[in-house]
Structure 1
Amino acid sequence: MRALLLSVLAAGLVALPATAAQAAPASAAPGPDVVLVGTTGLQWEDVDPRTTPALHDLATRGALGSTVVRSLRSFTCPADGWLSVSSATRAVDADLAADPADAELLPFGSCRALTGPGADRRIPAWDVYTSVDARGSYGAVPGTVGDALAAAGRTTAALGPGAAIALAGTDGLLDGSYAPVDPADPAALTAATADALTHADVVVVDLGDVRGTTPAERTTSLARVEQAATAVRDALDSTSREAGTSTTLLVASVADGFTAPRLQIGAASGPGVGSPAAGSTLTSPSTRQPGYVITADWARTLLAVAGADAGVRTTGAVVAATGPGRPAAQAIAALRDESLRTVEVRSLTSPHYVGYALLVIAPIVLAGILVRRRPLAGSSPRTARLLHTAALVGASVPLAATLAPLVPWWRTQIPWLTLVGVVVVLASATAALASTRPIARAPLGGAGLVAGLTTLVLLADVVTGSRLQLNGVIGTQALVAGRFYGVNNTTFALLAATTPVVGVALAAPFVARGRRRLGALVVGLVGLVVLVVDGLPSLGADFGGPPALVPGIAVTMLIVAGVRLTWRRIVAVLGSGALVVSLFALADWLRPAAARTHLGAFVQQVLDGEGLDVVARKLSQNVGGLFTSPLALVGVLVGVALLWAGFRWHVFPTEPVREAVAVQPLLGAALAGASTSLVLGFAVNDSGILVPLVGLALLVPLVLVTWTRHLDEVALAGAAADDAATPEA
């Protein structure tokens, strides 16, 4: 026992110096704690050791990544980006395209040209900024970072107008020193930077803007930014050598360079971020994705390194490095490739959904025409098989589109054609597998296989980090900055549609032997796996998923078990969904604040009295999506067109559904469960109408797969009967 106590005491004494060193403020040593070198419009495609050596040097000293700068509109102006740093969350300037007022505008768009503070040290247009963000949906408070640094007793220095916005207090006044950035006078800029580095704890530099829509247009502004970067680099290196200390250096572009959004550069080095190896990969708990950070992460990291982040409300997290170091050229090439992927995906997402909708509508219309013009017994086996194959291919498209990023189609000469080819090949291969005799003969075999593979791939991707769905045509786009990990709304819609189908397909053999309760248990086990992956904060982190999935799974289980649905049971089912998501959210909230996802963050927002604001924003996005989303508009128009065609020509494809359910009664249980989840998903998710549209686009082909299989059997039986009735010659 004495030896144990002595060893514990010795370990504590050894740890004390390290703990004290960590707790001591960095200002005890000469030089600043942290330097944020910011710019706007600078992409990794612009950074080159030959043409921009200073920028390349500053950006490749540690971990490298891409900054997602999305604010509250489709592109981010310089004022938006610097306000987001100042607010530590998404913020935005006034819409100057609608009302330019007296603001001076930058070229290429409707962005405000920033100017430094006047003699009164007040930031120009500060009242406009605070007024606009007070009405915003993220509760941004410009000046949050400046107030936090002042409260912590940290001295600051701003160089350039954007830096002044970042460090101003909520009153719009700049407390620390300020110097303009003039690339035309590098000696003066070097001296001003060196002065700031020697007297301030926190230094923020605005190198200026890189703007333009073509490389030629960007060359001039890029040269100015490079000149400023050279002066800042020289001052930073000189100060570090003289002081003998290592400053935490953050390099970030915080806004777009024109009206088309792009990934911007991001890099971090120094002790405040763990002294990452040069060429390692930058990441953040905000994104959970290697190579991705958001603008608010830079604000949170700056505050954390300066020891001023306690109690600050922010949507950002402290950046970190992952993976080993590698040559700068290799790291930059990977980031450029990811940037290219985001651009190509953004241009093809809407066409993909439109094409998929047409692919789904075609067999629906053919089925309706077939039902109207030809009795089932008289159907041609060839027609039935053709329709069956079309339905299988249509049902396999979501799976194929999810797997498509495994082939780097965006690097090819004609990306859209390559993507179409990849999706067609993968969907056709899946359809061929589902058409094999052992699978096709099983109850719900073809539909169950396609649904099962889709579910398996989606869950596996979520568990392994959602790398396929991020920047996939059927997933989420990083440039939108809505969700980087977990189960997004499209994935939820697909899982809501496939989970009951997979469950009843696996339960069918048990139900056929009269073991309905065991079949219901199988459905429940499938649903439980999906629910755990969807709802766990460390995996799916889908706040709106469990309240919609649980009732759908429960409805399917009750029908499979042969239990009659009553209003009391329906209310209990809905309540169970709310209970499950509440438990997930509470468990997440109990974790440290830095480790919480948006589930735990919502609990804290409710406790802070901000829950209604979050709900209102989600409802606004839901309702607004009905009128502003082109995909939602396409879905609504398609639905109206089908209804009109039905009333006009009496071609209603409802008989296939009745026939399919009559042949496979368990399919009715799956449809009831999936419909329940999709309707509830429409109500609780901010994607609104897209949730049921995406789910139905998968459910309908799955129903047609079952119906056309039955149609094929009827057609074959009819053909055999005709052959038997035909007298031999």
Structure 2
Amino acid sequence: MKSIGVRRLLVRTLFLTVAVLSVTAGTAAAQPSDLLAKVVVIGVPGLTWNDVKASPELTALVNQSHVGSITVKTAGPHTCPVDGWLTISAGTRAWGSVADQPCGDLPAVSGGQVADWQTYVDRQAEHHTGAPIGRLGASRDRVCGFGPGAAIAVAKPDGSVSNWQPDFDAARLASTDCGDAFVDAGALPLREGREEARRQVADLVTQARAADGWVLLVGISQETAGAHQEPLVALQLPPDDRPRWLTSDSTRRSGLIQLTDITATVLRGGAKAVDPAGAEKPGPLDGNEIHFTGGLHTDAAAVIEERLDTNERFEQPRPMLFATALTILAAELIALAWFVITRSPLSRRTFVFTLLTQGGFFIAVFLSTVTLWWRWPAPALSLYCVVLGISAALAAVAQVVLERWAFLGIALAAYSILLVDGVLGTPLQFGSMFADGPVIGGRFYGFGNSTFATLAVAALVTAGWAAQKLVETNRKHAALAVLAIGGAAIVVDGRPGWGTDFGGILALTPAVLLLAWLTWRGTISWRALLGVGVAGVLAVTAVAFLDYLRPEDQRSHFGTFFARLLDGEVSDVLIRKGQMAVQFFDGWSGWAMLAGVVLAMLATVLPGRVPFPAYRAFHTSLPMVRPTLLALSACGLVGMLINDSGVALPAIMTGFTLPLLVAHLVAAEQPTTVSPESHLVQES
């Protein structure tokens, strides 16, 4: 009877988690503002905020506009002009250029047909983009185009073009025959003639404004393949309600839109996906309508500097991630050598400090955004120093206050900070080292895979510690503690608008249930293990379905994925994610990560084979060590198999867990005589 009661409790907890995820779900941004009758999109490949700063004419437009930046990430490795225009045509990220080759000229239009159109259709199939190029042209009867890039944007699914002219014609734009319009202003010259080209762009905006609508001036792509990438310019004139900041529900970030939002805005209401054969069927857009948010801006110079600072925020984290990690690794190796040679108390404490600094690094990558380092002089150096400083400070405080149990302080801090950040809408994620910035085009909101890996370790270690306090007196209460702590992490990680992490809850839910089961029963059967896995799948499916029931423009990628599943369009998504996961094995680093992950997992299931007596003794010292380690391995294994990060996800988990574990073992002078009263096994 006791067994049945606990099973029912586990099931009820699972359904409660799903209910919290769904009932509290809501839209992350305000509804789009009313649009005027005509939208004129002027696309300028490579238009940067430095161009706006250097041009009095473009600067003068800033205070007359809603402003922002636009990320032009497309399906391919770089965004040439053809990639940008094809993405607008499809409303989803498309692949137009050839990898490892320079950006070529845009295709010509001959006899009312875009040249080589079938080549681009085939390229979408080859790379599994799922992009229905021609969707925009098939969905609007009076959409007009001016210039070669605009021909691609307004082409029908068969590549045919109507209502298009090779050059801009203000009279035609203003006529009743022309509804929404696209204008290719041409790429800015890389050097000579760029100033004149900027003046021509400003003049083009002035002419387009006379067409009684609003004008959207945007950078449409990078200028050349392999060019330095940054978010480009986005201006909307005239402003709907005095100049504010552009945004969309696809980014949920003030001052940022993405390329696919342009198509969603022009197709406001009832867009249909059109396949190359011409058969219409419902299909989700990757973007959402553009609208404005935030306070007024009235100082063009200040706006431009803010945009340039924001570009630094997105440019520096990735290179500084490696620089900071290598610095910490070098410090660990030096401290380890000193400790091995001398075995002195000072060398021991120093080595433990460097290990805890690595643990603190997984918190510092998020806390660093609070300092607004991108506004400091020398942003790259500032970020480097800030992250190292916060990492070292966290390690020092934990080591002084908690001594040998310092690992617990690091884990609890990571768990608490990420839960709060998730509930607040993940403000610490955006622009952090663990978030793919808008240039990479990964996540604009919610928890990415690196953040999930950190949260998963922190949650499972914290849950294991709490269970250890209760397990010897009441196993049921210990299992409930695991469900409460782990369930909170699942809710925050998975709730749309908070963590919004599809793959994360699919990996974390079975890991939490496994840890709870092992806490309650001590062992697990194959049937129970299968049930734990099925429960995880059901939880994700329920959340995705409930998110799907919301209006299309309010769905997160949970609901979007479910919609594509119902439409039979999910295969391309799965193939692309699989390809991304496999890409890690193109070089030696992926194989090295895999080897490290496999060794770490083997150490959890075969502790007797580990050639370190301190670890073997630790593994049997407390009841909750083994369950916590097994739950961590299960979470990493499932995450590796279902996420596009592949082996990188458990590698990040190992990178957070291992230094905490080693720090604990090294700090304990006699690890084989650990007292259950004082030792929390939690640090798997």
Q: State whether TM-score is above 0.5.
A: yes
Aligned-partner residue type, residue 94 of structure 2:
A
State yes or no: 1:332 paired with 2:304. yes
Q: How many angstroms apart in 2 are the aligned matches of 1:703 and 1:46?
A: 51
Deviation at 1:385, TM superposition (A): 2.7
SS in structure 2 of the partner of residue 47 of structure 1: helix
* 1:221 to partner: Cα distance: 3.0
d(CA) in 2 for partners of 1:348, 1:590:
41
Q: 1:672 to 1:470 in 2, by over 3 A?
A: same
State the superposition RMSD in angstroms.
3.2
Distance 1:611 1:96 in 2: 24
Residue of structure 1 in register with 2:387 after alignment? 423
Q: Is the 8 A contact 2:434 2:448 kept in 1?
A: no
Q: CA deviation at 1:639?
A: 7.7
Deviates more, 1:556-565 or 1:653-662: 653-662
CA distance in 2, matches of 1:586, 1:96: 37
Q: Which residue pairs with 2:465 in the alignment?
A: 505
Which of residues 183, 200, 205 in structure 2 aligns to 1:227? 200
Asked if residue 531 in structure 1 is aligned to residue 490 in structure 2, the reply is yes
Residue 113 in 1 paired to residue 79 in 2? no
Name the residue aligned to 1:106: none
Q: Does the 8 Å contact 1:354/1:634 carry over to 2?
A: no
State whether residues 88 and 260 of structure 2, in contact with CA within 8 Å, keep that contact through their aligned partners in structure 1. Answer: yes
SS at match of 2:218: strand
In the alignment, structure 1 residue 256 sits paired with structure 2 residue 248: no
Match of 2:350 in 1: 386
Q: Which residue of the partner structure matches residue 149 of structure 1?
A: 140
Task: Say yes or no: does 1:479 pair with 2:471.
Answer: no
The corresponding residue for 2:22 is: none
Alignment of 1:596-635 (within 5 A): 596-627=555-586, 632=590, 635=593
SS at structure 2 position matched to 1:257: coil
- Match of 2:67, as an amino acid? L
Rounded Cα–Cα distance in structure 1 between residues aligned with 2:78 and 2:570: 28
Q: Which moved more, 1:158-167 or 1:349-358?
A: 349-358
Instruction: Rate the CA distance shift 1:638–1:503 in 2: closer, same or farther, 3 A.
Output: closer
Q: Quick one: structure 1 residues 642 and 707, their matched pair in 2 at CA, closer, same or farther if it must change by over 3 Å?
A: closer
Q: Matches of residues 390-469 of structure 1 in structure 2 within 5 Å?
A: 390-412=354-376, 414-437=378-401, 439-440=402-403, 445-469=405-429
Equivalent-residue separation in structure 2 for 1:589 and 1:642 (angstroms): 38
Q: Distance in 1 between matches of 2:96 and 2:551?
A: 33
Cα distance change on mapping 1:117 and 1:640 into 2, 3 Å: same
For 2:629 and 2:329, how far apart are their aligned partners in 1?
20
Write the letter of the residue equivalent to 2:590.
A
Whether the 8 Å contact between 1:395 and 1:702 is mirrored in structure 2 is yes
* CA spacing shift, 1:716–1:493, aligned 2, 3 Å: closer
CA drift of 1:179 comes to 3.7
Partner of 2:46: 41
Equivalence for 1:158: 145
Which amino acid is 1:198 matched to?
A: S
Q: Show the counterpart of 2:628.
A: 670
Query: Counterpart of 1:185?
Result: none
Q: Which residue of 2 aligns with 1:265?
A: 233
* Equivalent residue runs for 1:116-265 within 5 Å: 116-118=108-110, 120-150=111-141, 155-181=142-168, 192-199=169-176, 200-212=178-190, 217=191, 220-230=193-203, 232-237=204-209, 239=210, 246-258=212-224, 259=226, 260-265=228-233
Query: Normalising by the residue count of structure 1, what TM-score does the alignment of the two structures yield?
Result: 0.79
TM-score by length of 2: 0.84
CA drift at 1:359:
5.9
Deviates more, 1:381-390 or 1:697-706: 381-390
Count of residues in Structure 1 that have an aligned counterpart in Structure 2: 624
1:648 corresponds to which residue?
A: none
| Corresponding position of 1:722 | none
Aligned to 1:61: 64
Give the aligned residue type for 1:263. P
8 Å Cα contact 1:41-1:256 kept in structure 2 = yes
Amino acid at match of 1:429: A
Q: In structure 2, what residue type is equivalent to 1:203?
A: A
Q: Does the aligned pair in 2 maintain the 1:94–1:128 contact within 8 Å?
A: no
Say yes or no: does 1:86 pair with 2:100.
no
CA distance in 2, matches of 1:337, 1:697: 31
Take 2:334 and 2:585, find their aligned partners in 1: how far apart are those partners? 24
Percentage of matched positions with identical amino acids: 27
Deviations 1:375-415, CA, capped at 9 Å, x for gaps: xxxx6544443333232222111111221222343455554
> For residue 166 of structure 1, what is the amino acid of its counterpart?
A
Check the 8 A contact 1:88/1:296 in 2, yes or no. yes
Kindly tell me: are residues 312 and 146 of structure 1, through their superposed partners in 2, closer, same or farther at Cα, counting changes over 3 Å? farther
Distance change in 2, residues 1:700/1:132 (3 Å): same
CA distance in 1, matches of 2:349, 2:612: 20
The answer to whether the Cα contact below 8 Å between 1:504 and 1:667 also exists between their aligned partners in 2 is: yes
Question: What do the CA deviations read for 1:513-534 (whole angstroms, capped 9, x no partner)?
Answer: x223212211211101100011
Is the 8 Å Cα contact of residues 656 and 704 (structure 1) preserved in structure 2? Answer: no
Structure 2 SS opposite 1:537? coil
Cα distance in 2 for partners of 1:669, 1:429 equals 31
In the aligned structure 1, how far is the partner of 2:600 from the partner of 2:530? 33
CA contact (8 A) 1:354 1:631 kept: no
Secondary structure at the counterpart of residue 67 of structure 1: strand
One-letter code aligned to 1:475: A
Inter-partner Cα distance in structure 2 for 1:716 and 1:314: 57
User: Which segment drifts farther, 307-316 or 281-290?
Assistant: 307-316
- Change in Cα spacing, 1:335 to 1:619, as seen in structure 2 (3 Å) is same
- Separation in 2, partners of 1:399, 1:321: 32
| Structure 1 residue 265 displacement after superposition | 0.8
Name which one, 1 or 2, has greater alpha-carbon Rg.
1
1:711 is the counterpart of 2:669? yes
